[in-house]
Amino acid sequence: MRTVLQRLARQLVLVPVVAVASYFLMAMLPLTTESETKRQVSPELAASYRRDLGIGEPLGFLRPWEKLFRGERLGTSAQGITGDELVRKLSGSVGVGLMALPLALAWALGFALLRTRWRKGRWAVLGDAVPAVAFGTPVFIPALLVAPAVVERGHLLPELCAALVTSLWPGIFLGTLVGDALETELSRDYVRTALGKGLAPGAVLRRHVLPNVMPALLDAVGPVATALLAGSFAAERVLGLPYFGQLYVLAVLNKQVAVVVVATTTFASLLVVVSLGIEAVRYWVDPRSREARA
Amino acid sequence: MNAIPPRARFGFVLLVGLGLLSLVAGRLFPDWLASSCPLGVDPTRPDRTVCELAFGGLWVSLAVGLVAGALSTLIGLVVAAVARLAGGPLEQVVLRAVDAVFALPDVLVVMVLQLAGQSLSDAGLGGGLGPFGLMVVSLSLVGWAGPARMFRNRLATLEGQEFVAAARALGGGGLHVLRVHLWPALRPFALAVFLSRLPTAILTESTVSFFGIARMEPMSLGRYLGTSYAALIYEGGGRVVLPAWALLVLLVLGASLASQALSASPRKAS
């Protein structure tokens, strides 16, 4: 139990670390307004910078969160955000990520099967080239290619396309890992023994092989979830989706520093929630992790 | 050279080829490139051809990737070596810090660091760092965690081997063992780690530049794509975007293949 709590604490500590680090990084910015030649921000933005970050006040780093929970607006009137808007935008991005996850799993399964088939033939080189091309293609490239056809259509088509382009690289990455793990497990003695005793190949796969592949899959889901959420930034920007990614990029471009602090911490919290979910699933499906902890 | 796996050799050839091409076409003979470009001019910048912008961007992206990749590998190596030499609680603290940095996506942190760096530069506190230096520093500050974790694990594995135990039994100190016995075994791995950082740095820079946050001048491939993608809405706009994309994919493909092949068989590569 102690080990489980230690792992939980390691995950959770990321949130205050990111909150404090991002606050102090933003609070030290010299956003000058004094002279015309060096002016970086408008007087309204400079006023909101001091007000929202509580600069010079005791426990000033809690100020942006206080304002959010009171329902007040962070940042300027035109480009700032309230707590409700933040939650709405975040749920939009999470929705795109949730649409992308099954797509990534479908890509993964398809690619793992194809890779196993290619390995024995003249297409073996594709098993290495496809992941490299998928990795080398930033999310904004396929998004740019589909954008002219879908941006104005509505009916969730831009969201679906964002999920599709975001899922490409994580899906191929997952497929490579699962394919390798599957191949390793299939060559083990226990599989030969089970087949030799007359068990059907499907039953061997389901009862013996897949439970052993599951830990490798869970190890990969964390980075994949991060890639899906981070990839949605670019897809949202190109496809004009007004969600969290768009909010974050615009906050950085417009120097809405309080929004940057809050959005960065919120994003880190989301990643921690995903990690905790993965740990819970691992604890449930992998008896080895329970034994190791006991 | 024969000991290098074929995939790594292909990756190296691709990388060196693209580097030479960008140097010759983008830097040494830009006038020739401007006069003979079959893709014509960029509609958003009528004074420049697509070839000039794409090969110029390739040179900048490659330079950013090489310098940032080398710097983050070096920082990771130093952090891992210090952690292993210190051991105990300090090593655990360093590992937790590595986990914290590693947990956040590179793009997000680089955007925040760019905002901070640009504000400092605008206020005259940037220490002489231009957009190129600022991007390299941002990428290095984000990218050291992965190499540090890989080097630390590799060092822990190597330290368990008999030749290290023999060196220690003969009175070799920590630094001596690291310098004389571990570093030669670590060198090929360091090359693989550097090559694995190269595509990540290039892609992160491209994405941040694409958003318009980095002010890279001359333009990198990402910034070029970010400023010219509006051409896609016109007929034949693909000729503006697709060459830059193809160069970006080839660049990352070369580095990925070389890195994967060297990581899979680092001993053969030595």
Q: Mind listing the pLDDT tens digit for each residue in B93-146?
A: 888 888 778 778 888 889 989 888 888 887 777 777 888 899 999 999 999 988
Residue B269: its pLDDT value, please? Answer: 41
Provide mean pLDDT across the span A6-23.
81
What count of residues does chain A have? Answer: 294
Give, in degrees to the nearest 5, the angle at Cα A80 between A163 and A271.
40
Helix (H) or strand (E) holding B82, with range, is: helix B50-86
Name the amino acid, one letter, at B260.
Q
Distance CA A82, CA A59 (A): 21
Q: Which residues contact A144 (CB under 8 A, 6 or more apart)?
A: A238, B225, B229, B232, B241
Distance CA B135, CA B79 (A): 21
Q: Which residues of B touch A132 (CB under 8 A)?
A: 252-253, 256-257, 260
Q: Is there a contact between A255 and A79 (Cβ–Cβ < 8 Å)?
A: no
Distance CA A3, CA A184 (A): 29
Whether residues B112 and A147 touch (CB distance < 8 A) is answered with no
Q: Which residues of B touch A238 (CB under 8 A)?
A: 229
Which of B116, B206, B212 lies closest to A138 in CB terms? B206
Distance CA B135, CA A53 (A): 26
| Residue A294 confidence class, pLDDT cut points 50, 70, 90 | very low
* Alpha-carbon gap: A206 to the closest alpha carbon of chain B (Å): 30
- E strands along B159-249, which residues? none
Phi, psi of A123 (to 5 degrees): -90, 10
Residue B200: its pLDDT value, please? Answer: 87
Q: Which of B72-76, B232-236, B255-259 has the lowest mean pLDDT?
A: B232-236
Q: Where are the domains of chain A?
A: 9-69, 86-253
Q: Which of A103-107, A283-287, B229-233, B265-269 has the lowest mean pLDDT?
A: B265-269
What's the Cα-to-Cα distance from A140 to each of A169, A234, B117, B132, B243, rounded to whole Å?
Answer: 12, 5, 24, 22, 15
Question: At the topology level of CATH, where does A86-253 sit?
Answer: MetI-like fold (1.10.3720)
**Looking at per-residue confidence, does B17 or A119 come out higher?**
B17
Q: What is the pTM of this model?
A: 0.84
Whether residues A32 and B233 touch (CB distance < 8 A) is answered with no
Whether residues A38 and B123 touch (CB distance < 8 A) is answered with yes
**Looking at per-residue confidence, does B43 or B57 come out higher?**
B57
A98 has a pLDDT exceeding 70: yes
Provide mean pLDDT across the span A40-63.
77
**Looking at per-residue confidence, does B7 or B204 come out higher?**
B204
Provide mean pLDDT across the span B7-20.
86
| Residue A292 confidence class, pLDDT cut points 50, 70, 90 | low
Phi, psi of A74 (to 5 degrees): -95, 140
Pick from A252, A269, A273 the residue to mutate for testing the B interface (most B CBs within 10 Å).
A252
Distance CA A187, CA B232 (A): 49
Which of A14, A229, A249 lies closest to B100 in CB terms? A14
* ipTM here: 0.81
Which of B105, B115, B245 lies closest to A252 in CB terms? B115
Whether residues A30 and B248 touch (CB distance < 8 A) is answered with no
Distance CA A174, CA B76 (A): 26
Provide mean pLDDT across the span B218-241.
77
Whether residues B203 and A136 touch (CB distance < 8 A) is answered with yes
Provide mean pLDDT across the span B244-260.
82
Pick from B92, B211, B250 the residue to mutate for testing the A interface (most A CBs within 10 Å).
B211
Question: How remote is the C-alpha of A271 from its chain's centroid?
Answer: 7
